[in-house]
């Protein structure tokens, strides 16, 4: 159970990081 929660949190952190980098890249391009 705990391993599943930690995996989900890890995925959410990765998605958050990727989205942050994407917005930074888009703003730098624009």
What is the structure's pLDDT at 24? Answer: 87
Which segments of 1-30 does DSSP mark as H helices, in order? 2-29
What is the structure's pLDDT at 2? Answer: 64
What is the structure's pLDDT at 3? Answer: 72
Q: For the beta carbon of residue 17, count every other beta carbon within 10 angstroms.
A: 10
Q: For the beta carbon of residue 18, count every other beta carbon within 10 angstroms.
A: 10
Condensed to tens digits (0 to 9), the pLDDT of residues 1-30 reads 567 778 878 888 999 989 999 888 888 876
């Amino acid at each position: 159970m705990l391993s599943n929660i930690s995996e989900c949190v890890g995925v959410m952190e990765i998605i958050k990081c990727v989205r942050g980098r994407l917005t930074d890249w888009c703003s730098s391009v624009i």
